[in-house]
Amino acid sequence: MNRKYMILLLIPFTMIYANMDFEYVGVEVNITTADNKKKHFLVKRHIPKECKKVLITNKNLWTGDFAHKSVPTVCKSTFVHTKGKLLPITLDPDLETYGELEVLAFIKEMQDNDEMLLIDGRTESWYAYFTIPGAINVPFIHIKRKKEYEFEFEDALKLFGVKKDKEGEYDFSKVKTLVVFCNGPWCSQSPDMLYALLEIGYPAEKLKWYRGGMQTWLAAGMTTTKDVK
């Protein structure tokens, strides 16, 4: 690719990250729920005032439950860390792994781009409990176990922009860019979905993995669908 065009492609993300307050300013997201209600979210990082005064020291960060008892309760969270298995940073050489800022930038761009989808790969009850604002639910089992969930699998592919040619082969020429996540960096549901999509020929460059998932999203103090404005 011509170097000039590579630079132009990088400009939107570069401009976003140039603003170091991006995670605190946030991104406006409007969604329509299953019961046709309109909801508005400002997706951002939430840092309570009490927490801004807490000093970053070894004692405060690493003692007790990874936070000293003197740290205000509102400034700390406790997570289950004994489930699942640790996963690598990279699932495929051509498949990008995203962090929180990349997800936030994706959500922002997604507001004006129908070719981008944020996918919560968890099952329905987990998605209903809470998710990242703007995410849609496509349970990983519908993709991983496509023979068992034949109709759901085909519906998902249509949503992703996959078509079939005259011979019945999948056409991935106009597929959407997906960011897929699940419960946390120990959760194998989103990797299972991504591997299943790669197996049928979905272009790796059109797939992104938010490895941190809901656990890391919450740990960073980011907005969820429970935080209705």
Domains contained in the chain, CATH given: 1-46+83-229 (3.40.250.10)
Is the pLDDT at 5 greater than 60? The verdict is: no
Is the pLDDT at 58 greater than 90? The verdict is: no
- Of 67, 87, 179, residue with least CA distance to 134: 179
What is the spatial distance between Cα 166 and Cα 76, in angstroms, rounded to a whole number?
A: 56
Render the burial of 71-100: b for 16+ CB within 10 Å, e for the rest: beeebbeeeeeeebeebeeebeeebebbeb
Is the pLDDT at 61 greater than 60? The verdict is: yes
Is the pLDDT at 131 greater than 60? The verdict is: yes
- Two tokens at 73? 């309760």
Is the pLDDT at 153 greater than 90? The verdict is: yes
DSSP 80: -
Residue 113 pLDDT class (50, 70, 90 cuts): very high
> Which pLDDT value is given to residue 22?
73
Partner residues linked to 212 by β-bridges: none
Please report the DSSP string for 140-205 in residue order. Answer: HHHHHTTTTTHHHHHHHHHHHT-EE-TTS-EE-TTPPEEEEE-S-TT--HHHHHHHHHHHTT--GG
> Which pLDDT value is given to residue 4?
45
Residue 20 pLDDT class (50, 70, 90 cuts): low
Of 75-84, 139-148, 174-183, the range with the lowest mean pLDDT is 75-84
Read off the pTM. 0.82
